Chain A
């Protein structure tokens, strides 16, 4: 009897100790995630210090990027990133909102809606390198022939082609979020509008869109965040020149694509650190956009 008691006490002591270890390891891991993200930012900042010190704000509006002559102005890349992202956003918005309205309001069920929903998820699942590959071999020749007909230099590659590819890639983000938000519009509001004699379009324009406005906006923000940071697909079809693009059909470079192309060949400290500063800017911008988007969503859903 005594022996049994002892074993039981020992076991429960061990269990209490295990419990403590488990609880503290949970906290430890949570803490380590926090520390890791903090170190992540710190690494970027520290590594880009040489270029921040040497170049200051001239880094942002300098118009020439010539590592051989030690001139680092990133205006062409900032312009390239903004042009491709906003052009892509402009192209994708009609599509993603249409899909959101189609799936959220007109046909929430049915085989075609099921198919469309899966297709949208699939668009998000295809790796960006495959989009780039396809773009390079299928889209570029098409764009080139269009450019020939329009009578401009037929590069094929360039800002416009990248925007097209990006537009396809970012449709799912705004579409699936928009669908969720449109689904959440209370039926009473819609029914009230119908009972006043509103048509479907008027209900959508005057009830659904105003109600889910912030959700749709958040979806657009998440799409934009994705477009800004997208690397591979853009790198493969944008042409990679550091000259400022004069029109949207010219080749160019984005911040992400210049990092992807030049990071491993950057020999001097200043060259490397200016590339990292580009990464830091990219990181800060996308993180801020994503967090604003998430905040809007969580405020909307509560």
Chain B
């Protein structure tokens, strides 16, 4: 081999080594974060932690029941608002690929997807919080619903586009009305794809803090009233992590652990449903 070829091969090998080095290096911060949250968080979890309210500064113990229930409620109502709009929007887009309205709706969904979460918070503040005169869990849910919408619309659209058009044609040829063809045949066939989009959307917004800062606001007490300010896990983590008290830091670590495991679980479920989806077609 001439030295020139040796040099070129050496360069090629060096580049490969560099790529592998950077790729492996990149997983390290993730591992560190997971490791640290689990190590700090898991020791804080016990029955009291899950069933008590936060205690005032200075007293040990206390839990995050209000944030757990609040987070579940806020995310649940957000999903309730976003799912019908998202699925119907997705059906419209998959049915009208070329229409003018379709183009503009697709563009606005893109705009919504690119919007920074804090800006969503500002706008919902002026739409809901200011007219009602109070921070409320409902406004938080609406802010999160706005963030879920583009993900659900897009995943529904993509899923329905992948279905063979013969499915729809067969239904229509049997004389079924259009709405029954769409809701009873096409949508159930793409169900797992739509579902994984919804779970993905929930996983994305379950940890969102910025849109809740000016809407759900947070609340140290327990409440299930959606017209009142409500605590949620991300808000609790933000508020307690930036506070100077060690007891509150402990609560925040525990809350971070619960939030992280919740989101991991949702992501794993999405993975499983999408895998099944791929096997089907």
Contacts from A to B (Cβ < 8 Å)? 15-16, 18-19, 21-23, 25-27, 29-34, 36-38, 40, 43-44, 47, 94-95, 98-99, 101-103, 106, 115-116, 119-123, 125-134, 136-138, 168, 171, 199-202, 204, 225, 228-232, 236, 256, 259-260, 263-264, 275-276, 279, 282-283, 286-287, 289-291, 294
Contact of B119 among A25, A32, A34, A279 (CB under 8 A): A279
Q: For the complex, count residues of B whose C-beta is within 8 A of A.
A: 86
What is the bound-complex CA distance between A291 and B118, given in angstroms?
19
With contacts A95-B22, A122-B30, A291-B111 known, is A27 near B101, CB below 8 A? yes
Q: Which residues of A contact B114 (CB under 8 A)?
A: 225, 229, 286-287, 289-291
Q: Which residues of B contact A225 (CB under 8 A)?
A: 114
With contacts A33-B153, A128-B207 known, is A228 near B116, CB below 8 A? yes
Q: Which residues of A contact B12 (CB under 8 A)?
A: 199-202
| B36 lies within 8 A of A138 (CB) | yes
From residue B31, how far is it (CB to closest CB) to chain A in Å? 8
Q: Which residues of A contact B241 (CB under 8 A)?
A: 129, 132-133, 136-137, 236
Contact of B237 among A36, A130, A260, A287 (CB under 8 A): A130
From residue B26, how far is it (CB to closest CB) to chain A in Å? 5
With contacts A133-B256, A283-B119 known, is A260 near B110, CB below 8 A? no
| B207 lies within 8 A of A134 (CB) | no
Q: Which residues of B contact A25 (CB under 8 A)?
A: 88
What is the bound-complex CA distance between A277 and B131, given in angstroms?
20
From residue A157, how far is it (CB to closest CB) to chain B in Å? 11
From residue A169, how far is it (CB to closest CB) to chain B in Å? 10
Q: Which residues of A contact B125 (CB under 8 A)?
A: 263
Q: Which residues of B contact A264 (CB under 8 A)?
A: 213-214, 217
Type the 1/0 row for B225-263, where 1 means its CB is closer than 8 Å to any CB of A: 000000000100110011000000100100010011001
Type the 1/0 row for B29-73, where 1 means its CB is closer than 8 Å to any CB of A: 110111011000000000000000000000000000000000000
Q: Which residues of B contact A283 (CB under 8 A)?
A: 115-116, 119
With contacts A19-B178, A33-B89, A99-B26 known, is A43 near B126, CB below 8 A? yes
| A18 lies within 8 A of B179 (CB) | yes
Closest 9 CB pairs of A and B: A127-B207, A229-B116, A290-B114, A22-B179, A98-B22, A37-B108, A201-B12, A199-B12, A231-B210
From residue A103, how far is it (CB to closest CB) to chain B in Å? 8
Contacts between the two chains (Cβ within 8 Å), count = 240
Q: Which residues of A contact B191 (CB under 8 A)?
A: none
Q: Which residues of B contact A168 (CB under 8 A)?
A: 29-30
| A37 lies within 8 A of B209 (CB) | no
What is the bound-complex CA distance between A192 and B243, given in angstroms?
61
Q: Which residues of B contact A136 (CB under 8 A)?
A: 241-242
From residue A153, how far is it (CB to closest CB) to chain B in Å? 21
Scoring A36, A37, A44, A264 by chain B CB atoms within 10 A of each residue's CB, the highest score goes to A37
From residue A188, how far is it (CB to closest CB) to chain B in Å? 21
Q: Which residues of B contact A137 (CB under 8 A)?
A: 36, 241, 249
Q: Which residues of A contact B74 (CB under 8 A)?
A: none
From residue B42, how far is it (CB to closest CB) to chain A in Å? 15
Scoring B33, B95, B121, B207 by chain A CB atoms within 10 A of each residue's CB, the highest score goes to B33
| A102 lies within 8 A of B108 (CB) | no
What is the bound-complex CA distance between A144 and B210, given in angstroms?
27
Scoring B27, B114, B183, B242 by chain A CB atoms within 10 A of each residue's CB, the highest score goes to B114
Contact of B207 among A99, A106, A130, A263 (CB under 8 A): A130
Contact of B101 among A18, A34, A127 (CB under 8 A): A34
What is the bound-complex CA distance between A168 and B210, given in angstroms?
19
